[in-house]
Amino acid sequence: LAKTTQPISMDSYEGQEVNITCSHNNIATNDYITWYQQFPSQGPRFIIQGYKTKVTNEVASLFIPADRKSSTLSLPRVSLSDTAVYYCLFNNLFFGTGTRLTVIP
């Protein structure tokens, strides 16, 4: 069964860049990597998706090395409202353990 590994928690000051890494050693050739954000008592919300190299949208960047065994979600200049749990997901079915990000004023 494919699994992912993420840090359990991270703290960051407001305005800083935050990088969250997910390890996925058993990712399959055709799997995409997707990141979600979840606030308490809400369903997860899509942030970004990629297959290889780098993807950037209006809220985040996703870096994927050539071996695709890991990925890094980068959140530029975080604000207090970015405090949430972040999950990496691949094959559309398996969520990682999640990283609880706390943004400190």
Partner 1 sequence: DTGVSQDPRHKITKRGQNVTFRCDPISEHNRLYWYRQTLGQGPEFLTYFQNEAQLEKSRLLSDRFSAERPKGSFSTLEIQRTEQGDSAMYLCASTSPGQHLYEQYFGPGTRLTVT
Based on the shown chain and the rule CB under 8 A, indicate whether residue 94 belongs to the binding site for partner 1.
Answer: yes
CB nearer to partner 1: pick between 14 and 38: 38
Tokens 């970004």, residue located: 48
Torsion (CA) 37, 30, 52, 7 in degrees, nearest 10? 40
Half-sphere exposure of 84 (CA within 13 A, CB side): 20
Instruction: Kindly identify the residues of this chain, within the stretch 23-82, that bind partner 1 according to CB under 8 A.
Output: 32, 34, 36, 41-46, 49
Q: Could you list the residues that contact partner 1 (CB under 8 A)?
A: 32, 34, 36, 41-46, 49, 85, 87, 92-98
